[in-house]
Amino acid sequence: MKVGRKQRRNDRCACGSGRKYKECSLIRDAVANMLLNQLDREGRRWMAEFLGASEETFEGELAEEAVVKG
């Protein structure tokens, strides 16, 4: 396989087994990509919840500080 080209189903597998990619690593790679995408979505969801909670806390602290100084 040439460098920089996406591996195709009928190419020889990059693992060196001599088998076609579709018979060797295609399913493993597809499952790995699916899991990585799911982790990415969960991470983004968690980050949004975390940042949302942080903004609410920060805004509350600013309001309390304004009252104390005011």
Beta bridge mates, 69: none
The secondary structure element, H or E, covering residue 17 is none
Higher pLDDT, 3 or 24: 24
Length of the chain: 70
Task: Name, in order, each residue with C-beta under 8 angstroms of 8's C-beta and a sequence gap of 6 or more.
Answer: 21
Q: What is the pLDDT of residue 4?
A: 67
In one letter, which amino acid is 35? L
Number of other residues whose CB lies within 10 A of the CB of residue 7: 16
Q: What is the pLDDT of residues 6-52, one digit of tens each?
A: 888 899 998 899 999 999 999 999 999 999 999 999 998 888 888 87
